[in-house]
Structure 1
Amino acid sequence: MDHNNVSGTIPQEMGKLKSLSQLFLHENKLSGNIPSMGNLSNLVKLYLGVNELPSSITEELGMLRSLGLFGLSRNHLNGSIPRKLDGLALLYLSSNKLSGSIPAKSECLGLSISFSCGILVSLGILNILGRLTSLNILLLDDNMLSGDFSLGILILYGMQSLSLAANEMYYSIPSQLRQCLNLSMNKFNEDTPL
């Protein structure tokens, strides 16, 4: 039911469809709280991006073991990122008002993560992401990340694409990362090797 201009709230009954494996409701005009989905043990793909959902992400969504795609970009979400996000291959939470960092125990995350246009302020996120050896794409542009990122990101050499544009970062950039980086609109000084 994506791209259909559906408005209103997501029915609470949606959380009772135990055999549901995919839920795509993106690019509608949905509002209200995300219903309880802790019982959807077969849910593999959940994409609710580009709506008007004002709530926070509940911890139970992070506990869905079968979930591989988790997309809530471009909503009005606030609060913290769930403490547990194991097994995800694709995580899209950009353009929200989320705070905190990716939990240290979420080491099964892979492939692609997007937190663009958010309010992440801690470079500690990079220390955690450095442990995600299967991470290929990381988008952290237009946040409020500041400081020297060279230490926390040294392990991410297998990445295909890393975007940290429009932040407040400075200092050195490891030479191994320069070919996959987008670092435009930061505050690097003229001595910083790009």
Structure 2
Amino acid sequence: MRTALITATSLRHLLLLLSLLVVARLPTHTFSLSPDGKALLSLLASAAGPPSPLLPSWNPSLATPCSWQGVTCSPQGRVISLSLPNTFLNLTTLPPQLSTLISLQLLNLSSANISGPIPPSLGRLSSLRLLDLSSNSLSGAIPAELGALSSLQFLFLDTNRLFGPIPATLANLSSLEVLCLQDNLLNGSIPSHLGSLLSLQQFRVGGNAFLTGSIPPQLGLLANLTTFGAAATGLSGPIPPEFGNLVNLQTLALYDTDISGSIPAELGSCSELRYLYLHMNKLDGPIPPELG
């Protein structure tokens, strides 16, 4: 009887040991979120209130954020696009951790209820092609560091509360096609160095009442320009005759400014010009027949 009891006890111990070995060999499903995913979660940490109900897919228990709403990844699992326009993020600041998304090519957080300054660290996103932070409540100066975004093609910072001058470093963005800075509180003058942006097609700075100085004649070098908008600003001085070199120009909006002098006859060389807004100014002299 005693021998049978010992044998039964030993058998139970053996079965327990075997079960522990089996459990130890089972695959584990506990993932650690990738660094890109952790950088994205910093957005939610910057929210003034609860996370947006539009982001239920942002699950931190996943290995990568590639299935999250608004996120696109490369085949290697790196985040290349973050697009959440018209999403109530309610951020008190843009977290600097976004600058660690080194593969990011597109960042669209327009109309997302974001306040605070633009982090200078965004200038480290060397692969970025589109940056859209328009229609928020961003304040402070435009960081000069954005001039290091060597791949940038589209920059939308319009309709915010940004102040200070337009950084001359933006002239380093040799691939830039669209520059929208309208409807802010920018001051100072338009940097003449922006005339080196030979790929630029749209330049919009209207609605910045404190933007002063004259229009740099160097902007007449922007041969690909289709839109020049600087209405409702404090710009003064003449319309540069060099604008006659803008053979692709379709829209020239300079109304409600302090520009003066005569309308240059050279504008007649702008064969693609369709919309010319020059009212509410201090222009004098006749309308050039070349515009007919």
CA deviation after TM superposition for structure 1 residue 157, in Å: 4.3
Which residue number in structure 1 is paired with residue 275 of structure 2? 161
CA deviation after TM superposition for structure 1 residue 82, in Å: 1.8
**For residue 111 of structure 2, what is the amino acid of its counterpart?**
H
| Secondary structure of residue in 1 paired with 2:116 | strand
Counterpart mapping for 1:163-182 below 5 A = 163-177=277-291
Structure 2, unpaired ranges of 5+: 1-108
Which residue number in structure 1 is paired with residue 149 of structure 2? 40
Q: Distance in 1 between matches of 2:259 and 2:118?
A: 33
**For residue 119 of structure 1, what is the amino acid of its counterpart?**
G
**For residue 31 of structure 1, what is the amino acid of its counterpart?**
S
| Secondary structure of residue in 1 paired with 2:242 | helix
The percent of aligned pairs where both chains have the same amino acid is 33
Counterpart mapping for 1:32-181 below 5 A = 32-35=140-143, 36-85=145-194, 86=197, 87-96=199-208, 97-98=210-211, 99-104=213-218, 107-109=221-223, 110-123=225-238, 125-177=239-291
CA deviation after TM superposition for structure 1 residue 152, in Å: 4.9
Alpha-carbon deviations, 1:66-115, whole Å to 9, x = none? 10000100111111212222221000001112222134265124111100
Q: Report the CA distance shift for 1:104/1:154 in structure 2 as closer, same or farther (over 3 A).
A: same
**For residue 140 of structure 1, what is the amino acid of its counterpart?**
L
Name whichever structure is richer in helix by fraction: 2
- Whichever of the two has the greater Rg, that structure is 2
- After TM superposition, the score normalised by the length of structure 1 is 0.84
Q: Report the CA distance shift for 1:91/1:120 in structure 2 as closer, same or farther (over 3 A).
A: same
Structure 1, unpaired ranges of 5+: 179-194
Counterpart mapping for 1:174-193 below 5 A = 174-177=288-291
Q: Distance in 1 between matches of 2:219 and 2:206?
A: 21
Q: Distance in 2 between matches of 1:152 and 1:118?
A: 23
Which residue number in structure 1 is paired with residue 111 of structure 2? 3
CA deviation after TM superposition for structure 1 residue 59, in Å: 1.1
Which residue number in structure 1 is paired with residue 40 of structure 2? none
Q: RMSD over aligned Cα, in angstroms?
A: 1.7
Q: More relative contact order in 1 or in 2 (CA 8 Å, sep 6+)?
A: 1
CA contact (8 A) 2:205 2:229 kept: yes
CA contact (8 A) 2:136 2:160 kept: yes
- After TM superposition, the score normalised by the length of structure 2 is 0.57
Q: Where does structure 1 differ by over 4 angstroms across 4 or more consecutive aligned residues?
A: none
| Secondary structure of residue in 1 paired with 2:240 | helix
Alpha-carbon deviations, 1:24-59, whole Å to 9, x = none? 111110001212112211100001001111111111
Which residue number in structure 2 is paired with residue 187 of structure 1? none
